[in-house]
Structure 1
Amino acid sequence: MKAFIVSGGKPKSSLKFYKNIINESDILIAVDKGIELYKKIDIEPDYLIGDLDSASQESIEWAESNDVEIIKYRPEKDFTDIDLAIDFAIEKNSDNIIISGFLGDRLDHIFGAILLLKKYNKLITFKEEFLEISKVPKNFEMNVKTGETWSIFSLTEKTEGIYLNGFKYSLKNGTLFFNNPIGISNETVNKTIEISYEKGCLVYFRWKNLLGVKNNA
């Protein structure tokens, strides 16, 4: 079951990109101001979640008129809106969760969202047209394009037994430390990359070398 969550950050990708994900998803969720992207492409989500402090009244009324189920929380709460949306998607039996609209001016919001990857065991991917962020499974293989920029970090104090293949800087039984992010700016040199590790937790940033992406339908 795939869920698509649009958060309240500024959309950075083409409308076609978002529409493609929507067409492949089983559950559509807007987080607060994320409802405005759905309104822009005229596709109503199944749910609108959050304290609704940043969504415009016009967008909220559009959601109401299209029978979107609205789940409103008080601003004073112990979880972020994205955290609540992920929990909700998991309650709806989603095991593959894609999140867009997470990039904005607040670096603390972005950092907090990325830290959530360690909390959940489900497949959660923060995705825009040019960037993908996700936790690395212990044995991971992906088809890529050569020349992509990848940064790999430890989300725990240290991650051990790391094996990297298909990158310019390979590793065999390596270790990455949370406080020494030397895994930044690696490069794919093969069309298939492999990552594995024995103990800890890794997260990857995959830059797809797309520049100047605009919100065009």
Structure 2
Amino acid sequence: MIGLITAGGEITSPKVFMEEYNQSDFRIAADSGVEFYLRNGVVPDRVLGDFDSISKEGKSFIKEKKISVSSFPPEKDYTDLELCIDFLIEKGCKNITILGGVGDRMDHSLANLFMMIRFYKAGITITLRNDLMKIQVLEGKLSLKKEYEFLSVVPADPLGIVASLEGFYYPLDNRKIPLGSTLGVSNYIIEEEGHIDIAEGTAYIIQTNERKA
């Protein structure tokens, strides 16, 4: 099953939202993430959170549409987003997309990036996405078509990674990239598909577009 979580980060594109909405089996709004559904005229399967940042319109929307709610106190050990992930896992979701999981709150953004790795090691694939970016965790091989301007391979393993890239402007052949290196940043696909092989370690695959003026 595929799960979708809308969080309170940066996303305004109806196209991105509806694309993920339509291919998901179960959809959760994390607190103010319900605003995405309100703006696009669709309904989540559940709203979960402490409701400390949701608008009056959002609260009215939940009541009017009779949306199922899981409420938690503001003072708790886990973020609304992590509680949403746990809920989807209990529902049987192995692939989860989070819309708006990165934004102005750097503490939340970093925590979400590290959380992706923890769940990946447990067999749960999480993708973070907003209007301009898609972030995945990878061990092994992945082939991608050119959907974004840039693609970066960023080590997420304390021991670094060994990476090969084919179909990219800057190819790599079993290249060791240590943690903290920028070697894999700002590459881009030049062929029909780009092929990534992370032979050792764990990496973030970050696809991005530049913001247009």
Q: Give me the TM-score of the superposition, normalised by structure 1.
A: 0.88
Q: Are positions 1:153 and 2:115 aligned together?
A: no
* CA distance in 1: counterparts of 2:90 and 2:33, whole angstroms: 20
Q: Deviations over 1:133-173 (max 9, x none)?
A: 1112411112225x821111111113333111111222111
* CA distance in 1: counterparts of 2:53 and 2:200, whole angstroms: 40
Q: Give me the TM-score of the superposition, normalised by structure 2.
A: 0.89
Q: Are positions 1:162 and 2:170 aligned together?
A: no
SS at match of 1:187: coil
Gapped regions of structure 2 (runs ≥ 5) = none
User: Aligned residue for 1:142?
Assistant: 144
| Contact 2:5 2:28 (8 Å CA) reproduced | yes
| Contact 2:154 2:203 (8 Å CA) reproduced | yes
SS at match of 1:16: helix
Structure 1 counterpart of 2:2, one-letter code: K
User: Aligned residue for 1:19?
Assistant: 18
Aligned-residue offset at 1:77: 2.1
Aligned-residue offset at 1:94: 0.9
Structure 1 counterpart of 2:20, one-letter code: I
Structure 2 counterpart of 1:6, one-letter code: T
* CA distance in 2: counterparts of 1:83 and 1:162, whole angstroms: 30
Gapped regions of structure 1 (runs ≥ 5) = 213-217
* CA distance in 2: counterparts of 1:131 and 1:110, whole angstroms: 13
Aligned residues: 210
Alignment of 1:15-164 (within 5 A): 15-121=14-120, 122-144=124-146, 148-164=149-165
The higher relative CO (CA closer than 8 Å, separation ≥ 6) is in: 1
* CA distance in 2: counterparts of 1:161 and 1:204, whole angstroms: 14
| Contact 1:12 1:101 (8 Å CA) reproduced | no
RMSD of the alignment, in Å? 1.9
